Amino acid sequence: MPERVGATRSFRYLAAVLLLLLFGAGCAPDPGSVAAQANAGDRKGYVSGDGAVETIPEADRAEPIELKGALLDGTAWDSASAHGEVLVLNVWGSWCAPCVAEAPDLQRVWTDLQAAGAPVQFMGIDFREEPERGAAFVKKAGVTYPSLSDESGVLILALQGKAPTVPTTLVLDTLGRIAARVNGPASATTLRALVDDVVAES
């Protein structure tokens, strides 16, 4: 009888271990999940978008964006100064790998548009980062358009919920309304096409 009881206990123990292994495998975090991405940040967690593009017809655009703050060098800037031109806003941080990867593409588009004399301004928004660190990055990366410092994370609240991930690039029309968005890294080809479309409206 004691042998049968012992065998029963051993069987139950083995069954419990197998169940734990099965459920443990089923609940293991997926490295590609949103939660895993959010917890895998460098200095802080972030979730990068997939590069999805959204365009907004003129009739459906919201109120103009009102954005003001200090550039990385401390100079004051107000989005009202860009009215009458197309404005490209790029939310970035040097701690964000996709932001670093897309920087050359944004710089290329900016350089080409300047050379063409297009009525376009670029403005970065350095998110959740000390301005000194952001300034060091743009110098090293050769980025020549300016960036606002958003160390506190307050400035992006003015973007009408259209910048839920880093990086995000918004294209504003000449009235300051959001006309297009890239949720995630923006390629030079995609960004140039979006900007050209908005420029052509005016």
In tens digits, what is the pLDDT along the chain, a chain of 202 residues?
A: 544 444 444 445 444 434 333 333 332 333 332 333 334 444 444 455 677 899 999 999 999 999 999 999 999 999 999 999 999 999 999 999 999 999 999 999 999 999 999 999 999 999 999 999 999 999 999 999 999 999 999 999 999 999 999 999 999 999 999 999 999 999 999 999 999 999 999 7
Which H helix or E strand runs over 201? helix 188-201
> 57: part of which helix (H) or strand (E)?
none
Q: How far apart are the first and last CA of the chain?
A: 92
- 111 is in which domain, residue-wise? 52-201
CA distances from 150 to 90, 130, 140 (A): 12, 8, 20
Task: Please tell me whether residues 10 and 94 are part of one structural domain.
Answer: no
Residue type at 112?
Answer: D
Phi, psi of 182 (to 5 degrees): -115, 115
CA 5 to the chain's CA centroid: 61
Query: Are 63 and 18 part of one and the same domain?
Result: no
Nearest-10 Cα torsion for 163, 179, 191, 167:
0
pLDDT at position 21, please?
Answer: 38
Q: Which two tokens stand for residue 125?
A: 């928004």
Sheet strands (E) in 35-109: 52-55, 68-70, 76-78, 86-92
Q: Computed over its alpha carbons, how large is the radius of gyration of the chain? A: 24
Kindly report the CATH number assigned to the domain that includes residue 93: 3.40.30.10
pLDDT of residue 7: 45
One domain for residues 15 and 67: no
Residue 177: the pLDDT is 98
Report how far residue 23's alpha carbon sits from residue 18's, in angstroms, rounded to the nearest whole number: 9
Same domain, 98 and 65: yes
Same domain for 105 and 13: no
- 87 and 56 share one domain: yes
Decide if 42 is inside a domain.
no
Is residue 47 assigned to a domain?
no
Q: Are residues 149 and 181 in the same domain?
A: yes
Tell me phi and psi for residue 172, to 5 degrees.
Answer: -100, 140
What's the structural domain count of the chain?
A: 2
| 197 and 131, same domain (yes or no) | yes
